[in-house]
A = this chain, B = another copy of it.
Amino acid sequence: MSPKITTELLKQLRQVMKSSKYVQEPVQAYIVPSGDAHQSEYIAPCDCRRAFISGFDGSAGTAIITEQHAAMWTDGRYFLQAAHQMDNNWTLMKMGLKDTPAQEDWLVSVLPEGSKVGVDPFIIPTDQWKRMSKALRSAGHDLVPVKENLIDTIWTDCPQRPCKPLITLNLSYTGVSWRDKIVALRSKMAERKVLWFVVTALDEVAWLFNLRGSDVEYNPVFFAYAVIGMNTIRLFIDGDRMMDPAVREHLKLDSTLEPEFKIQVMPYGSILSELQAVGAGLSPKEKVWLSDKASYALTEAIPKAYRYLTPYTPICTAKAVKNASETEGMRRAHIKDAVALCELFNWLEKEVPKGTVTEIMAADKAEEFRSQQKDFVELSFATISSTGPNGAIIHYKPVPETNRTLSVNEIYLLDSGAQYKDGTTDVTRTMHFGTPSAYEKECFTYVLKGHIAVSAAIFPNGTKGHLLDSFARSALWDCGLDYLHGTGHGVGSFLNVHEGPCGISYKTFADEPLEAGMIVSDEPGYYEDGSFGIRIENVVLVIPAETKYNFKNRGSLTFEPLTLVPIQTKMIDANLLTQKECNWVNDYHQKCREVIGAELERQGRHEALRWLIRETEPLVRVQ
């Protein structure tokens, strides 16, 4: 990796920061956040503005450019990468280190008195705008919205915004029609006494209309907004995608419908003016509901007194609870995914000893096996295929410079998943293709105990996921080990592999309570820098549990694993397990054998079936 030379670009940017063509008054600093206008986790090439101006293309980072300085804030995952990708014009601000100033503190320290700090109001989430604006104002500066994105003005070869065809999902996939989702949404709106709801997150638009797209990688979404009134539906979307007869039929664009279900299709770019018109027409006590993470531009379109902002939207909350069709789809997707992984691990077992398989090859092979399965669409995130010391880099993705060859002497960690038309998968298995050391087995077994502690946990209805996080750590803690990431995240149904509002992490207090039908990951780990990484991840479904006393009728919950891929018994020190934990592993493997075995048989994959049967032999404690 050689750094991007940015001298000329920065010079141009500093010119437009002063140009009356773009800014009413010159701005002394310009903020370039990571995200797109929808606060997406994965962004399209045309939205990679921070990477364009700096060269640093990690998934998280904020650039701030002043007359004199160019600074980049990013977190520990990216210190090395950012340092390699950026030239000397840039100062790396290592977030999480004690001496690193916050963006606002740094700005206050370098700006001349009474400065203006510009930002594209479409890119900055409202909650961040508020925080930054308050901090700057209290130091005598001003945060100002710059309508035209200043990076775009100098980005001459900026790629087009993608505008790919849509996929329509029928009831057998979604369980609920878009019409019924609108009805349910309006009833939530009525409860909160709001008249309008603005859909800004891409996965929320996709979910609401039972449509999918491929405008960004990994997330099957498309660029669009929606504004739902009590009697109107407006969908803001570009291109000829609405010309597709299947889409027209799906959305009933050409049918005679009750007016409140008639969808008005409008250009993507007209959202702001339409929302301003909505805002201008409001009477007292009429409210508009937006996510507090919606862009500042959209929030600003509604006068302050009329805004109703919440951290989680009603769509976010409804989307998290999967219905029977979605759950069945997720089950099917996980069965297919397990078939692909049985094939992969069987293949690796034969090939690794030859010393010819690299991390990238293994990742490609995993994708190849997955793509053979019905309704496969794409991967659900960049495959983490890592062996030996690379396994200790939690967000590792193999590239030619780091690509390592798998061997019988190192632990291999594969964290991967796919989008199928019926569901989204995300699974991590840690394997050894030779003989693991006693220490490696010991660590693996503690991680497994944590995985089981969460998976088998029973808890009252209404419990928030963060209260389960310590269960995953207890066995590791007893020996003085820990891992520095959360234990689980929500998983979408043929949607984003990371979704809110639930999860299992010590880092948040703001997650919504778990309910039956929610789907999360369970993925404790252990990482030994420079040596190996271990993680065991299943996607699990929240289900009602049977308990003796049932929490005075409050109801009991537990988890059912949807992922059915063997956990390598070679890595387990069975004598560190309790009998209950040992039974859990054996029951889990019995289920893998039955369910995945039947599918391997049906698909005629006999060699992988033999591998599965071998890998699901019951554990025995010797004691």
B551 and A482 contact, CB distance less than 8 A: yes
Least CB distance from A426 to B in Å reads 24
**Which residues A451-483 have CB closer than 8 A to chain B?**
457-460, 467-471, 473-474, 477-482
Q: Report which of B305, B459, B479, B481 forms a contact with A477, defined as CB distance below 8 A.
A: B459
Least CB distance from A445 to B in Å reads 13
Determine the chain B residues whose CB is within 8 A of the CB of A458 once the complex forms: 477-478, 480
Q: How far, in whole Å, are A477 and B468 apart by their CA atoms in the complex? A: 12
**Which residues A435-460 have CB closer than 8 A to chain B?**
457-460
Q: Report which of B481, B482, B509, B547 forms a contact with A480, defined as CB distance below 8 A.
A: B547
Determine the chain B residues whose CB is within 8 A of the CB of A549 once the complex forms: 479-481
**Which residues A156-212 have CB closer than 8 A to chain B?**
none
Q: Report which of B460, B468, B479 forms a contact with A482, defined as CB distance below 8 A.
A: B460
Q: How far, in whole Å, are A482 and B463 apart by their CA atoms in the complex? A: 11
Determine the chain B residues whose CB is within 8 A of the CB of A305 once the complex forms: 138
Least CB distance from A255 to B in Å reads 41
Q: Report which of B481, B509, B547 forms a contact with A551, defined as CB distance below 8 A.
A: B481
A548 at the interface (CB under 8 A from B): yes
Of all chain B residues, the one with the shortest Cβ separation from A528 is B552
Q: How far, in whole Å, are A474 and B460 apart by their CA atoms in the complex? A: 10
Q: How far, in whole Å, are A556 and B476 apart by their CA atoms in the complex? A: 12
Q: How far, in whole Å, are A551 and B484 apart by their CA atoms in the complex? A: 11
Least CB distance from A452 to B in Å reads 13
Least CB distance from A116 to B in Å reads 21
* Contacts A467-B469, A470-B471 given; does A457 touch B477 at CB 8 Å: yes
Identify the interface centre among A457, A478, A547: most chain B CB within 10 Å of its CB.
A478
Of all chain B residues, the one with the shortest Cβ separation from A553 is B480
Q: How far, in whole Å, are A479 and B458 apart by their CA atoms in the complex? A: 8
Of all chain B residues, the one with the shortest Cβ separation from A547 is B480
Determine the chain B residues whose CB is within 8 A of the CB of A155 once the complex forms: none
Q: How far, in whole Å, are A190 and B222 apart by their CA atoms in the complex? A: 53
Least CB distance from A40 to B in Å reads 27
A52 at the interface (CB under 8 A from B): no
Determine the chain B residues whose CB is within 8 A of the CB of A310 once the complex forms: none
Least CB distance from A459 to B in Å reads 5
Determine the chain B residues whose CB is within 8 A of the CB of A509 once the complex forms: 509
A270 at the interface (CB under 8 A from B): no
Determine the chain B residues whose CB is within 8 A of the CB of A460 once the complex forms: 477, 480, 482
Determine the chain B residues whose CB is within 8 A of the CB of A550 once the complex forms: 480
Of all chain B residues, the one with the shortest Cβ separation from A557 is B477
A611 at the interface (CB under 8 A from B): no
Q: How far, in whole Å, are A457 and B473 apart by their CA atoms in the complex? A: 11
Of all chain B residues, the one with the shortest Cβ separation from A481 is B549
Q: Report which of B459, B506, B547, B556 forms a contact with A467, defined as CB distance below 8 A.
A: B506
Determine the chain B residues whose CB is within 8 A of the CB of A477 once the complex forms: 457-460, 547, 556
Least CB distance from A467 to B in Å reads 5
**Which residues A363-402 have CB closer than 8 A to chain B?**
none
Q: How far, in whole Å, are A400 and B550 apart by their CA atoms in the complex? A: 36
7 interchain pairs, CB-CB under 8 A: A460-B477, A477-B547, A478-B547, A480-B549, A480-B550, A480-B551, A481-B549
Interface contacts beyond A470-B471, A477-B547, A480-B550: sample of 17 additional A-B pairs, CB < 8 Å, sorted by A: A457-B474, A457-B477, A458-B477, A458-B478, A458-B480, A459-B473, A460-B477, A460-B480, A460-B482, A467-B470, A468-B470, A470-B470, A477-B556, A479-B549, A480-B548, A480-B551, A482-B554
Sort A-B residue pairs by CB-CB distance and give the 5 closest, nearest first. A480-B547, A509-B509, A480-B549, A480-B550, A479-B548
